[in-house]
């Protein structure tokens, strides 16, 4: 969105906005400048009186501020005098069909409204341009295959280049991953030095503590930051994909969006096709989107396969596609094998195969305590599909299988980005709530506060942790207790405290919000000392339950209404003293 000149909006007749939401209801990076422009006070209430618009939000109802950006931009456009074509659409990734669940009816309403309002511009048949209509767009990527006879560089140079660590950067520069924020930041290579299981061996959940050492001294991060790791794909799956698609793994290729200025060609360096697939295309863990099936239908030579693919691509087949694809979490490789008559050109595969994404983990270490190291806390993901297929999380399973003591060390590509939990100064009192792996960033906070306390006085810290069983999944048990005793930063004699809720160790469930209510006096005391509240963990019910518990404490201790307590906490958030980092 930032690529569009917002100053030109009044000159447009019809604009469609498709927006996601990040963080605590924040606008995504790609529209920050655009949004800042729209918030200018000198824009009058009739500035967009000739604009007709529609908004589609891409959100997740598991988060408190569901589709907040879509709601904000819709309201702002109305304030500026624009006319909505239809009611805003709210896509929900929690829907059984993902965003398509809201997209289908929204898109149908959009075309219908446009054809009625602007019959000379929009044909009433616009929504029929699908796979059954026989129209296929051109792929958005251009792939150039470089024969060794016309390579500008020598074979020996290219072989040396393939072993160079910069190959990660160059391969991903050519993929759709280049449009994410990772391309603007330097990446680091890490070496794993510790792989420790935190939960009991006989416990169903496998949670691990990983420690990495940076292979260069330039790695810089702060507590509250996030580590993004590029996982390695199964080499057998990569080879199977290349073989199935009748591709030459050893040939060199360059890949560019057709819309890119050709003068940027100098930035692109050829890489082996196999390297490109392994580093940029998620062929064995991510499920393809519906458009993948639509494009496949054009290349199916078996009639029964073509009909099935067309049905999957239609609105009528959405539920059956969900049963076949999303519910079973079928991979691209599995889908291609199920439709053997389809041979997709590589240009289409580059566009349609989900990009291999980095996986984000809250950093659980302090750089003051562990210079040139970074630690993370990871739940190893695995589950069984309805048809009893075992699925595993790509990155977590790969990390769990690495042996830090092996002589065959793996260089792990990683990026550091700012998280949603800013590092607190030593003088700031803290109320931390982090059940399960939500404790990860607060492990870093406590480590850092402990180092800071050696140099001077620090403010009190209250930490609330929760897990199922004391003897099964009490993550970092010894660490917390060591800082809760002997004048530690979590000790009561320092004004702090450590409180843990075991939800399954008694007949009735006890969660962190119950422990929070038990400590209402201590929480209110710290809030009056201008404490900040940090919450991290699952995005399901926990953040809202904890927020409600804190609102109740404010209401009772201050003697105000619940509505006033809600506003009190909202002012705390605006003042930069209330943060939530949640993940699904």
- Work out the mean pLDDT of the chain and round it to a whole number: 90
Q: What is the pLDDT of residue 160?
A: 41
Interacting residues of 138 by C-beta distance below 8 A, sequence separation 6+: 258
Transcribe 362-425 into DSSP letters.
EB-S-TTTSTTEEEEEEEPPEEE-TT--EEE-HHHHHHHT--TT-SS---EEEEEE--SSPPPP
pLDDT (tens digit per residue) in 393-440: 999 999 999 999 987 778 999 999 988 899 999 999 999 999 999 999
- Alpha-carbon distance of 11 to 33, in angstroms, equals 19
Q: What is the pLDDT of residue 130?
A: 44
Half-sphere exposure of 429 (CA within 13 A, CB side): 16
Q: What is the pTM of this model?
A: 0.87
Q: What is the pLDDT of residue 319?
A: 87
Average pLDDT of the residues in 2-7: 91
Average pLDDT of the residues in 371-392: 93
All domains of the chain, ordered by start, with CATH?
6-129 (3.40.50.360), 290-352 (1.20.990.10), 430-583 (3.40.50.80)
Q: What is the pLDDT of residue 154?
A: 41
Q: How confident is the model at residue 171 (pLDDT cuts 50, 70, 90)?
A: confident
Q: Is the pLDDT of residue 1 over 80?
A: yes
Three-state secondary structure of 181-212: HHHHCCCEEEEEEEEEECCCCCCCCCEEEEEE
pLDDT (tens digit per residue) in 281-329: 999 999 999 999 999 999 999 999 999 999 999 988 988 998 999 889 9
Average pLDDT of the residues in 156-169: 55
Chain-centroid distance, C-alpha 125: 37
Higher pLDDT, 351 or 23: 351
Q: What is the pLDDT of residue 175?
A: 75
Q: What is the pLDDT of residue 177?
A: 58
Q: Which of 266-275, 411-420, 427-436, 501-510 has the lowest mean pLDDT?
A: 266-275
Interacting residues of 163 by C-beta distance below 8 A, sequence separation 6+: none
Q: What is the pLDDT of residue 285?
A: 94
Q: What is the pLDDT of residue 157?
A: 42
Q: 273-280 and 235-244 are packed helices; what angle lies between their axes, rounded to 10 degrees? A: 120
């Amino acid at each position: 969105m930032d690529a569009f000149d917002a100053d030109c909006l009044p000159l447009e007749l019809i604009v469609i906005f498709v927006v996601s939401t990040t963080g605590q209801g924040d606008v995504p990076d790609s529209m920050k400048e655009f949004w800042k422009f729209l918030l200018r006070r000198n824009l009058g209430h009739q500035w967009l009186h000739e604009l007709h618009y529609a908004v589609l939000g891409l959100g997740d109802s598991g988060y408190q501020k569901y589709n907040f950006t879509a709601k904000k931009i819709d309201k702002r456009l109305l304030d500026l005098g624009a006319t909505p074509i239809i009611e805003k659409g709210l896509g929900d990734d929690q829907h059984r069909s993902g965003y398509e669940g809201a997209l289908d009816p929204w898109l149908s309403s959009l075309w219908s409204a446009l054809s009625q309002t602007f019959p000379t511009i929009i044909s009433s048949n616009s929504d029929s341009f699908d796979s059954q209509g026989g129209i296929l767009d051109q792929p958005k990527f251009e792939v150039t295959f470089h024969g060794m006879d016309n390579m500008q560089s020598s074979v020996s140079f290219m072989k040396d280049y393939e072993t160079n660590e910069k190959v990660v950067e160059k391969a991903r520069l050519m993929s759709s991953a280049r449009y994410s924020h990772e391309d603007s930041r330097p990446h680091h290579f890490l070496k794993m030095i510790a792989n420790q299981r935190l939960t009991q061996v006989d416990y169903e959940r496998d949670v691990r503590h990983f420690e990495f050492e940076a292979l260069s001294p330039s790695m810089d991060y702060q507590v509250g930051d996030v580590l993004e790791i590029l996982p390695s794909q199964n080499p057998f799956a990569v080879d199977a994909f290349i073989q199935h698609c009748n591709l030459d793994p050893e040939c060199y290729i360059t890949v560019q969006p057709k819309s890119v200025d050709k003068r940027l060609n100098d930035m692109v360096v050829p890489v082996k096709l196999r390297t490109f697939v392994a580093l940029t295309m998620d062929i064995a863990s991510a499920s393809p989107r519906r458009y993948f099936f639509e494009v496949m239908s054009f290349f199916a030579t078996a009639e029964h396969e073509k009909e099935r693919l067309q049905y999957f691509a239609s609105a009528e087949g959405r539920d059956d596609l969900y049963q076949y694809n999303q519910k079973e979490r079928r991979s691209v490789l599995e889908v291609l094998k199920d439709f053997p008559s389809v041979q997709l050109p590589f240009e289409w595969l580059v566009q349609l195969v989900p990009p291999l994404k980095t996986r984000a983990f809250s950093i659980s270490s302090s750089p003051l305590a562990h210079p040139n190291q970074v630690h993370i806390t990871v739940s190893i993901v695995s589950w069984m599909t309805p048809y009893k297929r075992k699925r595993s999380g790509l990155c977590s399973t790969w990390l769990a299988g690495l042996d830090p003591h092996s002589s065959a060390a793996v260089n792990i590509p990683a990026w550091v980005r700012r998280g949603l939990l800013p590092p607190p100064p030593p003088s700031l009192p803290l109320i931390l709530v982090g059940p399960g792996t939500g404790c990860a960033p607060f492990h870093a906070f406590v480590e850092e506060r402990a180092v800071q306390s050696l140099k001077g006085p620090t403010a009190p810290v209250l930490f609330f942790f929760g897990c199922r069983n004391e003897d099964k999944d009490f993550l970092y048990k010894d660490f917390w207790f060591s800082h809760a005793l002997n004048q530690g930063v979590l000790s009561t004699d320092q004004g702090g405290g450590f409180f843990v809720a075991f939800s399954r160790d008694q007949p009735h469930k006890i969660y962190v919000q119950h422990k929070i209510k038990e400590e209402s006096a201590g929480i209110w005391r710290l809030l009056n000392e201008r404490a900040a509240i940090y919450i991290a963990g699952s995005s399901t019910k926990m953040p809202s339950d904890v927020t409600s518990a804190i609102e109740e404490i404010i209401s009772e201790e201050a003697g105000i209404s619940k509505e006033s307590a809600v506003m009190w906490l909202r002012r705390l958030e605006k003042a930069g003293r209330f943060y939530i980092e949640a993940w699904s």
